[in-house]
Amino acid sequence: MTFARRDHINDPETIPRMPAWVTAARPDTLEDVAFLSGAALAHLHLVLARVDVPHALLRDRLALRAAEACVAFSGRPERAGELRDALHLLRPGDLPGPAGEICLTWRRAVERPVSIKALGRALPSLEPGQIAAWVDAEKGAPVTRAAMVLETGLTEAPRADVPALILADAALAQAIGWDHVVPLLAGSLKRADLRERGEDLRLACHRAVVASAIEAARLAADLARRAAHLKAVAPKLRAKGAGEAVEMFLTRDAVAPLVLPLPDRAARRLCDRLVELGAVRELTGRDTFRLYGV
């Protein structure tokens, strides 16, 4: 009985969907939205506790979504495709540009367990004491705490959207008990929301958490199924270094053949084989300078 239950937990097809009463509701009051955000976070918490979810890959993809939103907040035109290019097609010594830097910042923020040191690595422009003061000072329920951190950051540094949003998500993660930052706020906040304060900002944060938790849970279930398929076809790959390459696909939003632990031609053949097996997708639609991801 114990073994059957464990197999059930590890089956990605058993990941429950967010309840319809959460996804379909359109509440207006702070009280009702706060109730829904709590329900959405509770469901997402259960999803993230599952071992079949590729957690590093999920965080990396959510980081891309958050970066895309922050780039849009800044008025720049780059979207997900351009951000992937800025990160994965850089040559040694090249600079990623302003949009690429935003994407790199979010990726660094989700790579390591939440700590002042890890956040300082992602946000080198902030002093550790300042990070600690922003993240640790606020108490209360998770979303309320995150909203207060966001308000503090935006008030003290009005143009520093990215650090404020990262630290707000860090506060949210700490309040819930997650080991890593899970980007939720930036992807569903509107640019106008960042000008709000007090109760209006809390309302916007609750709404953003509901929308992003729904999307994160859906994405987690999708990636769990895709990761299971990739692991299933891995034994068919005979190239030396294929096992290490598979692990890279399971932890990164996008992978360029040139970073795989194989010679260039073999790496491209491996990627084509994985596409043929339905285990990864080509993400760019180009004939050259291709990127691949689960």
Q: What is the pLDDT of residues 123-177, one digit of tens each?
A: 999 999 999 988 876 678 999 999 999 999 999 888 889 999 999 999 999 999 9
Give the per-residue pLDDT at 64. 98
Give the per-residue pLDDT at 238. 86
Give the per-residue pLDDT at 7. 43
- 60, β-bridge pairs: none
pTM tops 0.85, yes or no: yes
CB atoms inside a 10 Å sphere around CB 108: 18
Q: Is the pLDDT of residue 81 over 80?
A: yes
* Domains of the chain by residue range: 26-224, 237-293
Write the CA distances from 45 to 37, 80, 128, integer angstroms: 12, 26, 28
Q: Letter for the amino acid at 145?
A: R
168 vs 7, which has greater pLDDT?
168
**pLDDT tens digits, 82-101:** 999 999 998 878 889 999 99
Instruction: Give the Cα separation of 121 and 190 in Å (integer).
Output: 27
Q: Can you tell me the mean pLDDT for 41-62?
A: 97
Mean pLDDT computed over every residue of the chain: 93
Give the per-residue pLDDT at 117. 96
Give the per-residue pLDDT at 5. 38
- 282, β-bridge pairs: 292
What band does 10 get if pLDDT is binned at 50, 70 and 90? low
Instruction: Give the Cα separation of 95 and 81 in Å (integer).
Output: 17
The 8-class DSSP code of residue 282 comes to: E
**pLDDT tens digits, 198-243:** 999 999 999 999 999 999 999 999 999 999 999 999 999 988 899 9
Instruction: Give the Cα separation of 195 and 279 in Å (integer).
Output: 43
Q: Is 93 left (phi over 0), alpha (psi -120 to 50) or beta?
A: left
Q: Can you tell me the mean pLDDT for 242-247?
A: 96
Phi, psi of 26 (to 5 degrees): -135, 65
Percent of the chain with pLDDT over 90: 84
The CATH class of the 237-293 domain is mainly alpha
**pLDDT tens digits, 114-125:** 999 999 999 999
Give the per-residue pLDDT at 12. 66
* Cβ neighbourhood burial of 117 (10 Å; 0-12, 13-18, 19+): exposed
Instruction: Give the Cα separation of 194 and 161 in Å (integer).
Output: 8
